C-alpha cells in the first residue's frame, strides 16, 4: 500500500491538471469533482445501506434489476455509484426513487475514508472487475462486507494483471466474496491471488434482463424515423477505425442492389459530428437523431440510453468494438429483440457470451470487412434465415437466466 499511495501522490501531479481540463470541456462538473474527492455535501446521508458500484452505462443497465430486487428484499437504503457522466444520467433516470446516485470516490486514502465514514455501508458491491486497493482496505478496516459480482477476467486483462500479481493479490484478499461469471474467470482470479474460499461461479446477470415486448417493433421504427418497408441495420457502439470499415460495407451492399437503412451508433456520442463528416466523405447524407431534420440515407444515433430500444426497429445488428482490438460489445440487447447479431474477431471482453451464441448458432462471427459484407448480404437476401438466428438468440437469453436471483440471495446471506 505504501508503494501504491506514493505512486498515487506522484500521479496527482498529472491528474489534477487533467481534472481541471475535464472540467473546462464539460466532462466533469464541480459537483462530480467534489464527490470524487469524498465531499458529498448531503444533509441526511443514508447509512448502513448497500452500496453498489458500476463504472458506466453498460454496467449500470445490468445492475438496475439487481438494485430493484435488493430494494424489495432488503430493509436497507441503496447507494448507487458510477464513474462517468453518461453512467450518472442513466442511473438517475432508471433508479429515481430507488437509490441515491453518487460518483465513486478517487482511490486516494482521504477520499475513500471520507466516503466510507459518511455512508457507513453494510456492504459494497462492485460490478465486474473493479479493484481499488485503498477503498478495499478501508472498507475491511471498517468491517464493511465487500463483494465482486459478475466478475470476469478477459484474455488481455489476465495477461496484464499477471505482471502486477504481487500488487493485486492483497486487494483481492480483501474481498469477502467474488462471484465470477464462469469457471474460467474463477480460476483466473484465484491464480491472481484471491482466496479460493471466497471465489464462486455466479453466472452472468446480464442475461437476466426483462425481455422486450416484440409487438412494439413497428412503433419503434416510426419513433426513430426509419423508412417503412426497408430493413434497418444497426452498427452499434462503434469506435474510431470501424466507421471506415462499415461505410465500405454499406456502399458494397448498395452496389449489389440491396436496399436497407444503415444506422451508426458511436460508442461515445461526442464523436457523432466527426462520424457524420466521415459518412459525408463516403458519399452518404447522414442525419443525427438529435437534429430536427428528416430524410437522409443514414442515421447517426447521438443520444444516450436509446440504443437498447432502437434495436427493436432493426433487422440485424453489427457489434462495434469487435473489428478493432477493443474487446467487443455486448450482444444481449439486440438478441432480446430477436435481432440477429454479427461480430468481428475481437470479442475478448465477452468471450463466454460470444461462444454461447456461436455454439447455439445464434450469431455470426466474421474476421474482415469483406466477410461482414457477405454475411449481411446473405441475411438481407434471406430474411427468414436471419429471423431464425434472431429467435435462437432470444431463446439463449431465456435459457441462461437465473444468475440475478442467485446473486441477490448470496448477498442477502452474506449480510445476515
Q: Is 327 left (phi over 0), alpha (psi -120 to 50) or beta?
A: left
CA separation for the pair 128, 372 (Å, rounded): 30
Catalytic status, residue 59: yes
Contact 320, 236 (CB under 8 A): yes
CA separation for the pair 88, 151 (Å, rounded): 21
Residue count of the chain, please give it: 416
Contact 345, 323 (CB under 8 A): yes
CA separation for the pair 360, 357 (Å, rounded): 5
CA separation for the pair 273, 291 (Å, rounded): 11
Q: Choose, from 28, 59, 333, 338, the residue flagged as catalytic.
A: 59
Nearest to 265 by CA among 349, 352, 329: 329
Q: What is the DSSP letter of 151?
A: E
Nearest to 339 by CA among 293, 308, 301: 308
What SS3 state is found at 56? coil
Give catalytic residues, as residue numbers. 59
Amino acid at each position: 500500500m505504501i508503494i501504491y499511495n506514493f505512486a498515487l501522490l506522484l500521479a496527482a501531479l498529472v491528474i489534477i491538471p487533467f481534472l481541471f481540463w475535464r472540467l473546462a470541456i464539460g466532462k466533469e462538473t464541480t459537483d462530480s469533482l467534489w464527490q470524487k474527492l469524498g465531499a458529498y455535501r448531503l444533509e441526511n446521508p443514508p447509512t448502513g445501506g448497500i452500496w453498489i458500484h458500476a463504472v458506466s452505462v453498460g454496467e449500470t443497465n445490468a445492475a438496475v434489476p439487481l438494485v430493484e430486487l435488493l430494494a424489495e428484499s432488503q430493509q436497507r437504503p441503496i447507494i448507487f455509484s458510477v464513474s462517468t457522466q453518461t453512467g450518472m444520467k442513466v442511473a438517475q433516470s432508471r433508479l429515481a426513487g430507488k437509490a441515491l446516485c453518487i460518483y465513486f470516490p478517487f482511490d486516494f486514502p482521504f477520499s475513500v475514508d471520507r466516503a466510507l465514514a459518511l455512508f457507513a455501508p453494510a456492504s459494497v458491491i462492485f460490478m465486474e472487475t473493479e479493484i481499488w486497493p485503498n477503498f478495499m482496505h478501508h472498507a475491511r478496516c471498517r468491517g464493511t462486507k465487500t463483494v465482486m459480482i459478475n466478475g470476469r477476467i478477459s484474455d488481455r486483462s489476465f495477461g496484464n494483471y499477471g505482471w502486477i500479481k504481487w500488487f493485486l493479490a492483497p486487494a483481492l484478499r480483501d474481498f469477502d466474496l467474488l462471484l465470477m461469471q464462469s469457471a474460467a474467470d474463477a480460476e483466473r482470479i484465484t491464480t491472481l491471488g484471491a482466496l479460493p474460499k471466497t471465489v464462486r461461479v455466479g453466472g452472468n446477470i446480464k442475461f437476466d434482463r426483462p425481455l422486450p415486448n416484440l409487438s412494439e417493433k413497428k412503433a419503434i421504427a416510426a419513433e426513430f424515423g426509419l423508412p417503412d418497408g426497408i430493413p434497418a441495420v444497426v452498427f452499434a457502439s462503434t469506435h474510431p477505425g470501424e466507421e471506415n470499415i462499415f461505410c465500405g460495407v454499406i456502399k458494397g451492399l448498395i452496389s449489389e442492389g440491396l436496399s436497407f437503412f444503415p444506422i451508426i451508433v458511436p460508442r461515445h456520442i461526442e464523436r457523432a459530428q466527426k462520424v457524420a463528416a466521415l459518412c459525408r466523405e463516403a458519399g452518404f447524407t447522414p442525419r443525427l437523431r438529435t437534429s430536427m431534420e428528416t430524410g437522409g440515407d443514414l442515421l447517426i444515433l447521438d443520444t444516450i440510453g436509446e440504443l437498447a430500444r432502437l434495436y427493436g426497429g432493426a433487422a440485424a445488428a453489427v457489434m462495434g468494438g469487435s473489428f478493432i482490438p477493443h474487446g467487443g460489445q455486448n450482444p444481449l440487447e439486440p438478441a432480446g429483440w430477436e435481432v440477429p447479431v454479427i461480430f468481428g474477431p475481437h470479442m475478448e471482453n465477452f468471450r463466454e457470451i460470444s461462444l454461447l451464441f456461436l455454439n447455439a448458432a445464434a450469431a455470426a462471427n466474421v474476421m474482415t470487412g469483406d466477410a461482414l459484407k457477405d454475411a449481411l448480404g446473405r441475411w438481407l437476401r434471406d430474411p427468414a434465415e436471419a429471423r431464425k438466428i434472431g429467435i435462437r438468440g432470444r431463446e439463449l437469453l431465456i435459457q441462461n437466466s437465473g444468475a440475478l436471483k442467485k446473486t441477490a440471495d448470496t448477498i442477502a446471506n452474506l449480510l445476515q
